[in-house]
Structure 1
């Protein structure tokens, strides 16, 4: 067992530094469904199989064609005529023996007709190169089952992703350049006592040079507060606009005021139970402050002084987490759930990251596509530039409309490219008219999308595969913040954009 763990640590060394043992465990317990093993689909799975996804299932009713072999590294000439899901599964499994691969020789539409609950079993469903009608049907099934759905598409020199999830909570958001939680403006009793134990005036030069800078700053802040802040408080009070100090960040404050935080039931997810417990801590025990994070940055100091200071913060963090744990226990008891249903380890992790909690809520595909609920403001605002990424989104919607009318995509046959240009232009105009969008699309884009012929170039598919796998790992590990909700990649200009549609 120890040998197996050691070999895994060696094998997955780099990624463990990103999402830790607990993130890797979530990854290894996940079961991902990929619909359609096209070039984009296999690139996504490649980037999930290599880091050790637990298992995957490919749903694909197509047979391998010569065109598939031409742009897909996971299909060979020997695969032609075989089921595409089976052929891709065999080669993908060779990348990592820890991963279990399965395949279903069926189209997603048939599964939706005969067994829609088939898709409920997965941690995440990734749909690749799907027609609009299939996307909407599958999106509705997964939305009602609370299964995250990631729609991916490569169309010529355009990459597209759409995340569909009701609510995705993130504890470890890993923000860039996060400020340290040192509490120098409001030092807790143990920190005050530790700071007062230092006599800077009586120190020699050597001792002073090896004193943690936190102590020095705290000493002078205390002096500055006593001289300046009292005067400022008097002036503010005199003006009648005194406000309580708000330490909790704005995003966390929004969570505290949310409906899920107020209405705790036996069905409430652990995230919201712990959020409510932290809110009660802030309002009572913390006196407006979140639990202490318990970490300090590296600094020049001798080992003994640094460790002593570090222990002050760590012990306070443990005390705060213990208080939050009691609030959690009380909340669980009030709804008839055992206190063990949320572990101490989870509570400590939650408290450590309380300032960085994030919740992503996406709109459903039905809302995006409905005339009544389409986000017209987002579309019109981002169409200020006639060459922005939003025009690519409108073109993708238009080629889907073309497919609905003609059962094929524009330009798939060379001899019909010129004929399809006028047909696609009609689709673009009808889309803009149906949604009452007062924007225009250049003819150049209509011509370009007809020339694409719904091709799936491997260079674009590989970029999209890496991007989609990254978002999938965010969803599975519940670490880092996924995009919300539409992502467009323009391979012509090498630019990307996200929109909330």
Structure 2
């Protein structure tokens, strides 16, 4: 008897099983269709790609005109002694592809400035572009180009024990933000009709789901308090006492109801972040260029104002409970049916909007709308700023000034790294690479000029300038590996449009094992 051969889909599902549990099949599909461009295959760059190749991006392209040096071999795990003097892009591509044969890799032995000048359209098909260790002049050029093309861009540095990463993106909309503390939307304060009818026919007992126990006892409390919901500790304690008084024995489902008093109210209300999205001009003033996110947001807004009577669509999920299986499943089905009803109402509105915009009715699927409705309480929109504006015009100078007064802040590391990029542009080499004795004074002079241009008079610590020159641009693999993993995580967030990426700069100090985010 011949054994059956698993289909490729089954093999892939098994291969990526653990990560699919994080971002689902739809997230994995987006990842597998992504194309990532890396500029400069240093240790940090290859560690970033490692963290993307292993989970299965579609393809990557490395742009790097440098040849492999002894220093590269010492800190880059994707090079070997035989690579010495050869193309760094080609050899890193070869070894990275060995990690995952499902991922395509390409190398280009060319200078980034040449590609920007002669073939700017080259970048338009990439999902994300990442650069590592670019000098200031090249970084500004690449930033301006990718901003015009609306391609997300991440600029990274790893020098000695210091590291940084900066995300540039015009707008990033996330439906599945996966909040750490997701609030249960049980709609007990404004129960829908089918829930009311279902609960009214059930008598309390040891096998009844705690949600029903809580609802019935909440009604007892509300009759005594003019239909108000308990908010304060004292009021919630009174509700707990009412639940206890309805117990006939030590019953676990009643105890669950008592424990759930703090977390079961307030669901379905529009929080300030979601309200800001619904009031956004992109939501109110749709046009032919509007993305599916904004069209669904408008459908959601119309639903809340009309069908939902001020409430979000019901997500339709309930927590696990100690209860009779049939009673629990019946309750679950009631919530699920209401969620489908709400999502259908939003979908009808979305279909009408697509018709008004002269777009195909299947451009946004019913499945897309149901996911949007399920996650509606936590949707997020992040609007970014251009890196070149940060470099050419200066930004957040008051924040930098305040942070420089804080001895525990890592903002001084940001200033030093910015000065290093300026040094590299003006002198043609990295500080400490040629003259360790005179370079600290030179880079300090550049840093002082930078902060003065920002209108800041704070004094900078000499130790940091001596430290950056002591590194001489060298990478420490453990630092690059840690930072590379962090950057890969953020790129996956950008590609899958799940979880919120940091906004928009992270600085890492490996000596203190301390990281800090800033927004520029």
1:375 aligns with 2:396: yes
Extract structure 1 runs of 4+ deviating beyond 3 A: 229-233
Q: Which residue of 2 aligns with 1:214?
A: 211
Given candidates 287, 292, 300, the residue that maps to 1:278 is: 300
Q: 1:232 to 1:8 in 2, by over 3 A?
A: closer
* 1:396-450 Cα distance to aligned partner (Å, 9 max, x none): 111122222211111113xx21111211221121111111113221111111111
Aligned partners of 2:473, 2:311: CA distance in 1, in Å? 55
Q: Secondary structure at the match of 1:229?
A: coil
* 1:292-334 Cα distance to aligned partner (Å, 9 max, x none): 0010111111110111110011111100110000000011111
* 1:441-481 Cα distance to aligned partner (Å, 9 max, x none): 11111111111111111011001110000000000000000
Q: Which residue of 2 aligns with 1:409?
A: 430
Aligned partners of 2:140, 2:437: CA distance in 1, in Å? 30
Q: Which residue of 2 aligns with 1:465?
A: 484
1:262 aligns with 2:259: no
What displacement does 1:130 show? 0.8
| 1:343-362 pair list within 5 angstroms | 343-362=365-384
Aligned partners of 2:388, 2:58: CA distance in 1, in Å? 31
Q: Which residue of 1 aligns with 2:353?
A: 331
Q: Verify the 8 A CA contact 1:378 1:499 in the aligned structure 2.
A: no
Q: Verify the 8 A CA contact 2:134 2:421 in the aligned structure 1.
A: no
Q: 1:323 to 1:399 in 2, by over 3 A?
A: same
Q: Which residue of 2 aligns with 1:137?
A: 141
1:30 aligns with 2:37: no
Q: 1:19 to 1:305 in 2, by over 3 A?
A: same
Q: Which residue of 2 aligns with 1:451?
A: 470
Q: Which residue of 2 aligns with 1:242?
A: none
TM-score (structure 1 length as normaliser)? 0.94
What displacement does 1:24 show? 0.4
Q: Structure 1: state its 5+ residue gaps.
A: 201-207, 234-244
Q: Verify the 8 A CA contact 1:50 1:95 in the aligned structure 2.
A: yes
Cα RMSD (Å) of the superposition?
1.5
What displacement does 1:246 show? 8.6
Q: Structure 2: state its 5+ residue gaps.
A: 231-266
Structure 1, 295-304 or 474-483: larger mean CA deviation: 295-304
Q: 1:215 to 1:185 in 2, by over 3 A?
A: same
Structure 1, 381-390 or 264-273: larger mean CA deviation: 381-390
Count of residues in correspondence between the two structures: 480
Q: Secondary structure at the match of 1:339?
A: coil
1:229 aligns with 2:226: yes
Aligned partners of 2:485, 2:107: CA distance in 1, in Å? 22
What displacement does 1:232 show? 9.4
* 1:151-186 Cα distance to aligned partner (Å, 9 max, x none): 111011111000000000000000001111100111
Q: Secondary structure at the match of 2:85?
A: coil
Q: Which residue of 2 aligns with 1:308?
A: 330
Q: Secondary structure at the match of 2:226?
A: helix
What displacement does 1:366 show? 2.5
